[in-house]
Structure 1
Amino acid sequence: MKIFSNYQIIAQIFESSNSLVYRANRRHDNQPVILKVLKEDYPTPAELTRYKQEYEITRCLNIDGVIRAYDLQKYQNTLAIVLEDFGGESLDITLKYRKLSLPEFLAIAIKITKTLGEIHAANVIHKDINPANIVWNLKTDILKIIDFGISTVFTRENPIIKNPNILEGTLAYMSPEQTGRMNRVLEYTTDFYSLGATFYRILTGYLPFDTSDALELVHCHLAKQPLPPHELDPNIPKVVSNLIVKLLAKTAEERYQSAFGIAADLEECLRQFQICGEIADFPLAQQDFSDRLSIPQKLYGRDREIETLLSNFARIPEENSSEEQTRKCVEMILVSGYSGIGKSVLVQELYKPITARRGYFISGKFEQLQRNIPYSAIAAAFRSLIQQILAEDEAQLLEWRKKLLAAFGSNGQAIIDVIPEVQLIVGPQPPIQQLEPMEAQIRFNLVFQKFVRVFCQSSHPLVIFLDDLQWADAASLKSIELMLTDEQMKYLLLIAAYRDNEVSPTHPSILTLNRLEKEGVILNRITLAPLAAPQIAQLIADTLHSNIELVEPLAELIYRKTSGNPFFVNEFLKTIYQENLLKFDWQQRCWVWDIPQINALGITENVVDLLIDKLKKIPEAPQQALLLAACIGNRFDLKTLSIVCEKSLTDTFVDLLPAIQSGLIQPTSSLETTLNNPIDASLIILNYKFQHDRVQQAAYALIDDNHKQTVHLKIGRLLLASTLSDGQEENIFAIVDHLNKGKNLIASKAEKVHLSQLNLKAGYKAKESTAYTAAREYFISANKFFLEIYGKGKIIIKWL
């Protein structure tokens, strides 16, 4: 089969759903090579990006145990990677016809582990360690790791919930945190879990969990313990079995913390077997040291709150249960506490039971700088649900379409006006009849309730989490009321978090909640207090793998500085680590610190000031990019930011890299290419969020108050200029909000007229969505500009 004129194909050696792999010879020098070709004639942009990423990362890893990448070539409409051929085959193939002896296993396990350690030392997380991606030449005993298509060069990632059918990686070997359904970020220890699953398969011949149901497999990774290998095969020494079980721990902090520690234990096992012919038990992980600061992500001091949360979810009735018939209304959980106290991570403890019930968890966040955008958090939550549903198979999608169309009747456009992505499931809907405001509100309320009910079923309950309720708009508060008072809604749990120190008894959110309580709605309240000193001492002891007595002076200092705020505690630890005041001493094999030096650093007792200092140390271009991003919102996209920065997508992405690596912002989407031709294209990430509100607040605070109006006006103008007329409606609220913040700097009469028209357009859009409070604000703004231009006595906009 002729693919390239420069290569002679010898044989096809592998075929997956995406790729064809050939063994070939390069014609000009007869060099053996592997050709990995995208299978489809017209591959998706994601597939092209993955090949580009695999080539770029592989060619940069100059490691003996990693396959070498020679070239990336275009073939017709697809791509091919030219790779080293050292005569090996994947362990996945080898295991089909050959069972490895214990010493063979230990020898190759040591090789795999050491290579993985070198990969991590090069700041790469593989994310897809499994037997198919480990190639071994039995004759030469050379072993190499391949396939870096979903690897990352970032030290931490924050996976999001996706449909299990579209998760990147090999699900049978995937760590719990990589599924996106665990309240943990993804770090290099994710590869240790996959390594444990790989060792399990090699030694026992079985996978840790054997099921073809994707969601059930995810739940197994989250909540079930695999049978220890020695119980499957009594010939497997118990200490080897324990080593694998440790690698397969559900939480990263319970696994090995370094490839060095894993290899040391494997080498001890091999040494004993070679000398004695057997392996005696010995304490594991005695040589497991790492100089990376890794703060445990488990929750400290929240046992009672977690129990309250889980018991509330457990009250959602099961199918055909007696409670199903008696439950009269939806319950709501209110989680309150200061910023950084851990409200969001507490709520994420529900991921495990939700997955067990095959339910859906969706979330949205209200934003301080975008309070005028109606339904912002609710629309964001349901957008994520639509994305999960769109990944289901055609038969399931058809069922959803039928259910939604039945719920909508002729009024589907009312929902599409608020959540445009719904149209991707149901298709275009007929225009809705124009009604008087009161009638339009009633119609929207009924359609919205029916829409939500579609997703709330006994077979898949729905949990909606709305963060920062203190910044909710009036339309969103009304929608919350609709969900909670709908007697036909049974399988829904609504959770809202808010900062109780930022609301008064007359705050709109509090008034709404009080009214609901009077109407008989069950509100379950969880108030999070700061961590106590002993809890902080335990966190620090766990972080530094030390005992509480040794860390107590450091813990007391941190408690005094942070007042027990978990986010501040984490940032404090990161700061003294980055300043080299907390470091790992390889001679003593322990962490060391100097209290007087830490005190002398003069770390502020205000977390925002600490973050401002951190931001100031970033180079100027990345710092400016972050400042502008803070003006856009807690979540922002690269296209908008590049417009605001007046730079290319690639240059703007490069500016953001220091902020990503330092954890100030987190990507919320995968790598993409900037051009249709991926060989010449750059790799970029389009979507981001700030690590925390406090980071956004710190970045925004760096902009001089007198300059903020100028920045917002500039952003508004650039967004307006770059948005085509047919796209203005979708972005109208963001554009108008920025321009309104800078309205005092507008001198041109023509621009004032245009801004008045834009406010009018935003008002009409809000009115169509029955967000009348927001509509009124936009109409008032439009009228003010109108009066400024034409003076009193002129026509007042009739919608006021």
Structure 2
Amino acid sequence: MAHRVSTLECTKTGFLLVQTQMIFAFQAFVKAVSGLGIPMVLFLDDLQWVDTASLDLMQALIADSESTSILFIESYRQNEVSIDNCPFSTHLEDLKATAKFIEIQIANLQKKDVNEFISNIICEPQPSTKSLSDVLYRKTSGNVLLVIQLIKSLWDEGLLWFSYRRKHWEWNSSLIELKKVPDDAADLMAEKILHFSPDLQLLLKKMACLGSQCDTSILCLLRGGCKDHNREDNYSMSTMLCDLDIAIHEGIVKKAGSKYIFAHDQIQKAAYELIPKCEQSKWHLRVGMQMLRTCKDEDLDNILFVIVDQVNRGKMHITEVSQRIEFAELNFLAGEKAKASGVFSSAALYVEQGIGFLDENSWNDYYQLWLRLYTSCIELEFCNGNFEKLAEVLNCIITHA
């Protein structure tokens, strides 16, 4: 036992060294950029979803006394941050205790702001746009995303138009007043997506399963079977790109380099919620399986996390023993990859998921895989300081050794 503890200490030291080196390298990079005599602003968005490894890096940057020319702007949704389930809430408490910061509450637009916003969009004086902005404000309560999408919807439906004869914008206030507007921006986005071709709808739903953005190379893996989940089809690369151009034109997605990004997380939510809730886990599994079966062997490592994350969300639908063993192995590989990067918390989750794919006979039928997963679990729980879990796993290994 003493030898085993000594080995774990060495393992933990090695892992922490990797993590420390990564933080140090990033600190050096930030200092080099901000040391040019020009103040640097670092804007971090949607931090309600931040992981612990990223938080550790943020804390190190904020606490660095030598970095004096940096302004950190951290954006998050207050209603999605709670003490119970969000690591960012602990970060906020630490900031209040140790750092100088200003908290700014961002609310919906006021009525006058909506009018100014509309006036700027259609280049008409504010007195002229007041009748339109008043209607939009009543229907959206000043939600800026709803305002933007509602204006686009009015244009599409011919309720807002440009008069070339009179050389200014016109609208039908009475018909706009009668128009039903969803309370949620996601519902309005869903209506727009449902007007797209079936191919594009299906592609956007698959993309939504992956999150807020997706690389073109991954979309290429997902385009097969777009007309029907159960068969491949001739949905060509060129057709897919043309469809995505339509989505870009309609403001659903935007393109940055090789990535396609949902223009807003509410749009991603809208596309995802077009999948019936009872089917969502199956969709994640299909997406993961499709990526795994269509990617080249040499590309697997680059998208390993993406595949494993998708499969894990649909693991309850995997019943074949051979598939469960395959995905236990993939989770082990993902855990090793995360561990090598010093992200111990994520690595532990992958290993735990891998163990979850095994049944009570796996220690006998697939002993080497079983032992690798449990041994890795011990190392990671030790690094994470979860000693109760470590003791539980260690006892399980001793029992079956």
Global fold match (TM > 0.5):
yes
Summarize deviations over 1:669-691 as a string: whole Å, max 9, x none: 3xxxxxxxxxxxxxxxx432111
User: How does 1:403-422 map onto structure 2 within 5 Å?
Assistant: none
Change (3 A) 1:452 1:789: farther
Q: Which amino acid aligns with 1:598?
A: I
User: Which residue does 1:508 correspond to in 2?
Assistant: 87
CA distance in 1, matches of 2:296, 2:191: 39
Question: C-alpha displacement at 1:571, in angstroms?
Answer: 0.9
Which residue, 292, 310, 335 being the options, matches 1:738? 310
CA distance in 2, matches of 1:608, 1:438: 42
Summarize deviations over 1:258-309 as a string: whole Å, max 9, x none: xxxxxxxxxxxxxxxxxxxxxxxxxxxxxxxxxxxxxxxxxxxxxxxxxxxx
Question: C-alpha displacement at 1:494, in angstroms?
Answer: 2.5
- Asked if 1:766 corresponds to 2:338, the answer is yes
Q: Which amino acid aligns with 1:767?
A: K
Structure 1 unpaired stretches of 5+: 1-432, 670-685
Q: Which amino acid aligns with 1:557?
A: V
User: Which residue does 2:153 correspond to in 1?
Assistant: 575
Which residue, 62, 66, 82 being the options, matches 1:488? 66
User: Which residue does 1:185 correspond to in 2?
Assistant: none
- Asked if 1:798 corresponds to 2:386, the answer is no
Which residue, 287, 296, 319 being the options, matches 1:715? 287
CA distance in 1, matches of 2:245, 2:26: 41
CA distance in 2, matches of 1:444, 1:521: 23
Q: Which SS does the other structure have where 1:525 is aligned?
A: coil
User: Which residue does 2:262 correspond to in 1?
Assistant: 690
Q: Which SS does the other structure have where 2:108 is aligned?
A: coil
Which residue, 8, 32, 35 being the options, matches 1:457? 35
Change (3 A) 1:553 1:724: same
Is the Cα–Cα contact under 8 Å of residues 135 and 176 in structure 2 kept in the other structure? no
Is the Cα–Cα contact under 8 Å of residues 644 and 718 in structure 1 kept in the other structure? yes
CA distance in 2, matches of 1:444, 1:588: 62
CA RMSD of aligned residues (A): 2.4
User: Which residue does 1:660 correspond to in 2?
Assistant: 248
Q: Which amino acid aligns with 2:357?
A: F
Q: Which has the higher relative contact order, 1 or 2, with Cα contacts under 8 A spaced 6 or more apart?
A: 2
User: Which residue does 1:469 correspond to in 2?
Assistant: 47
Question: C-alpha displacement at 1:529, in angstroms?
Answer: 1.6
Change (3 A) 1:743 1:435: same
Question: C-alpha displacement at 1:760, in angstroms?
Answer: 1.0
Question: C-alpha displacement at 1:789, in angstroms?
Answer: 5.8
User: How does 1:286-685 map onto structure 2 within 5 Å?
Assistant: 435-459=13-37, 461-506=39-84, 507-518=86-97, 520-646=98-224, 647-669=235-257
CA distance in 1, matches of 2:152, 2:256: 22
Q: Which SS does the other structure have where 1:588 is aligned?
A: coil
User: Which residue does 1:325 correspond to in 2?
Assistant: none
Change (3 A) 1:604 1:443: closer
Change (3 A) 1:455 1:621: same
- Asked if 1:728 corresponds to 2:300, the answer is yes
Is the Cα–Cα contact under 8 Å of residues 248 and 255 in structure 2 kept in the other structure? yes
Q: Which amino acid aligns with 1:596?
A: S
Q: Which amino acid aligns with 2:374?
A: I
Is the Cα–Cα contact under 8 Å of residues 457 and 491 in structure 1 kept in the other structure? yes
User: How does 1:175-214 map onto structure 2 within 5 Å?
Assistant: none
- Asked if 1:750 corresponds to 2:327, the answer is no
Change (3 A) 1:439 1:622: closer
Question: C-alpha displacement at 1:590, in angstroms?
Answer: 2.6
Change (3 A) 1:790 1:530: same
Is the Cα–Cα contact under 8 Å of residues 221 and 295 in structure 2 kept in the other structure? no
Question: C-alpha displacement at 1:788, in angstroms?
Answer: 5.7
Summarize deviations over 1:91-146 as a string: whole Å, max 9, x none: xxxxxxxxxxxxxxxxxxxxxxxxxxxxxxxxxxxxxxxxxxxxxxxxxxxxxxxx
User: Which residue does 1:705 correspond to in 2?
Assistant: 277
Question: C-alpha displacement at 1:667, in angstroms?
Answer: 1.8
Question: C-alpha displacement at 1:459, in angstroms?
Answer: 3.8
User: Which residue does 2:229 correspond to in 1?
Assistant: none
CA distance in 2, matches of 1:473, 1:535: 35
Question: C-alpha displacement at 1:483, in angstroms?
Answer: 0.6
Q: Which amino acid aligns with 2:251?
A: G
User: Which residue does 2:6 correspond to in 1?
Assistant: none
Is the Cα–Cα contact under 8 Å of residues 221 and 294 in structure 2 kept in the other structure? yes
Q: Which amino acid aligns with 1:695?
A: I
Change (3 A) 1:542 1:451: closer
Is the Cα–Cα contact under 8 Å of residues 119 and 125 in structure 2 kept in the other structure? yes
Q: Which amino acid aligns with 1:799?
A: S
Summarize deviations over 1:139-169 as a string: whole Å, max 9, x none: xxxxxxxxxxxxxxxxxxxxxxxxxxxxxxx
Question: C-alpha displacement at 1:532, in angstroms?
Answer: 0.7
Question: C-alpha displacement at 1:557, in angstroms?
Answer: 1.6
Summarize deviations over 1:629-683 as a string: whole Å, max 9, x none: 22223221222112112143212112223212212111213xxxxxxxxxxxxxx
Q: Which SS does the other structure have where 2:102 is aligned?
A: strand
CA distance in 1, matches of 2:155, 2:182: 16
Q: Which amino acid aligns with 1:763?
A: G
Summarize deviations over 1:455-504 as a string: whole Å, max 9, x none: 33134554322210000011001110011111222333322211112112
CA distance in 2, matches of 1:468, 1:478: 16
Change (3 A) 1:468 1:549: same
Q: Which SS does the other structure have where 1:504 is aligned?
A: coil
Is the Cα–Cα contact under 8 Å of residues 318 and 324 in structure 2 kept in the other structure? yes
User: Which residue does 2:388 correspond to in 1?
Assistant: none
| Greater strand proportion | 1
Question: C-alpha displacement at 1:440, in angstroms?
Answer: 4.5
Q: Compute the TM-score of the two structures, normalised by the length of structure 1.
A: 0.42
Summarize deviations over 1:560-591 as a string: whole Å, max 9, x none: 11111212111111111110011122333332
Q: Which SS does the other structure have where 1:798 is aligned?
A: helix
Corresponding pairs, count: 351
CA distance in 2, matches of 1:729, 1:621: 28
Structure 2 unpaired stretches of 5+: 1-10, 225-234, 378-401
Question: C-alpha displacement at 1:700, in angstroms?
Answer: 0.8
Question: C-alpha displacement at 1:436, in angstroms?
Answer: 4.1
User: How does 1:46-445 map onto structure 2 within 5 Å?
Assistant: 435-445=13-23
Q: Which amino acid aligns with 1:798?
A: T
CA distance in 1, matches of 2:125, 2:15: 65
Question: C-alpha displacement at 1:619, in angstroms?
Answer: 2.0
Q: Which SS does the other structure have where 1:783 is aligned?
A: helix
Q: Which amino acid aligns with 2:278?
A: N
User: Which residue does 1:328 correspond to in 2?
Assistant: none
CA distance in 1, matches of 2:170, 2:24: 62
Question: C-alpha displacement at 1:559, in angstroms?
Answer: 0.8
